[in-house]
Amino acid sequence: MKQITALFVGLALFVPAIAGAQSISTIELQELLAQDRNQLIALNGEDAVRAYLQDLLFLILVQSGVTPTEVTADTLYGNPTSGSFNNDDDEEVRVETLSADDVEDDSAELRGEVEDGDNVKVWFAISRTDSTPSCNSYSQRESVSDRYDAGDDFEEEVRGLREDTRYYYRACAQEKDGGIDSGDIRRFTTDDDNGSSNNDDEPDVDVKSARDIQDDSAELRGSVDMNDFNNGIVFFLWGEDEDEVEDATNEDEYDDIDEDGDDLQKQRVDRDLDGDDDYTLDIDDLDDDTDYYYTLCVEYEDEDDDQTLECGSIEDFETDN
């Protein structure tokens, strides 16, 4: 990594000279990096070079008071196999945030899943004070090694957390064009130093991408972990009206939700869940070439002995025509 280190020492000296400007174009940075590109890749490997460019260059620019425009490994350094600085691969990348695992008083395992994309760079954004952690924030970033393909789960253990404290986090992924896909925000509460929490952990609900999508049918998927609660009533919601699906998640009980034709439907898949389980539901009689919205929910009795719902993110799919 000596060649990479030398490159960033040079950049650290170069950036303050232009720190008075409000932004630096990718063209200027491309010119700076172009002459050493092939040598760096030959000595260190393409993935290593891209990782350093993505992580370290962004940090150097921000710390120097410069606002980088579209700073990514591909836009700065190009695609070496194509012989061009531009990456025209517009393959969609999607990432999903999964529930945290192995939560202790000072650590937790963050989990995510790549839903679409190949050789995807992923990381997590996590914060104790910010309930909406940003995938663009370097200070909230928790890096993940390796790259992942569609269908792969990934995880990263975070340490040094405060005991009995709530944290917010989300999974993040780098798109091919330099953009960022952000997963839904989830939360967890660390145990106290005696190995228990003052607050019961609410159920975790993960909504997976739909499969086997046809012109009139699809398979919905998801999972529920009851954590500190029992006797969960698990059900799917789906329909053509996203607002109606979202409004239904604000009810307190399954029986409070009124179906509304094609706009909103519901179906129980478990009447008494303890622990955790995975669920699928085949739905049919759908309209072709139509957007549908869906989620998975669980009804349970909370710590105040009131019935309430915990629902996952609202996902969507389009039927074939």
Q: Which residues in 132-142 are b (16+ Cβ under 10 Å) and which e?
A: ebbbeeeebbe
Residue, of 262 and 40, whose pLDDT is higher: 262
Residue whose tokens read 């085949």: 282
Q: Where are the domains of the chain?
A: 2-77, 94-189, 204-318
| DSSP symbol at 56 | I
- Can you give the three-state secondary structure of 204-227, one letter per residue? EEEEEEEECCCCCCEEEEEEEECC
CA 67/CA 60 separation, integer angstroms: 10
pLDDT at position 193 is 63
Q: What is the CATH number of domain 94-189?
A: 2.60.40.10
pLDDT tens digit sequence for 174-204: 987 778 999 988 888 888 766 544 456 789 8
pLDDT beyond 50 at 19? no
Work out the pLDDT band at 74, boundaries 50, 70, 90.
very low
| DSSP symbol at 286 | P
- Which parts of the chain are beta strand (E)? 23-24, 67-68, 94-101, 107-116, 120-127, 141-148, 153-159, 166-174, 180-182, 186-189, 204-211, 218-225, 232-239, 265-273, 276-283, 291-301, 307-311, 315-318
pLDDT tens digit sequence for 223-269: 999 988 999 999 999 999 999 999 999 999 999 999 999 999 999 99
> Do β-strands 23-24 and 67-68 pair in parallel, antiparallel, or remain unpaired?
parallel
In one-letter notation, the amino acid at residue 313 is S
Most confident residue range from 69-83, 154-168, 198-212: 154-168
CB under 8 Å to 256, separation ≥6 — which residues?
none
For the entire predicted model, the pTM comes to 0.49
Name which CATH class applies to 204-318: mainly beta
Q: Are 283 and 277 within 8 A, CB to CB?
A: no
Using DSSP's 3-state secondary structure scheme, residue 39 falls into helix
pLDDT at position 188 is 83
In one-letter notation, the amino acid at residue 24 is I
Range with the lowest mean pLDDT among 1-5, 145-149, 198-202, 231-235?
A: 1-5
Average pLDDT of 292-299?
96
pLDDT at position 72 is 45
Q: Are 188 and 131 within 8 A, CB to CB?
A: no
CA 86/CA 15 separation, integer angstroms: 23
Closest by CA to 41, choosing from 89, 7, 66, is 7
CA 213/CA 220 separation, integer angstroms: 9
pLDDT at position 45 is 55
Does 204-318 match 94-189 at the fold level? yes
Alpha carbon 53 to its chain centroid, in Å, reads 22
Q: Are 308 and 252 within 8 A, CB to CB?
A: yes
pLDDT at position 21 is 41
Average pLDDT of 48-71?
54
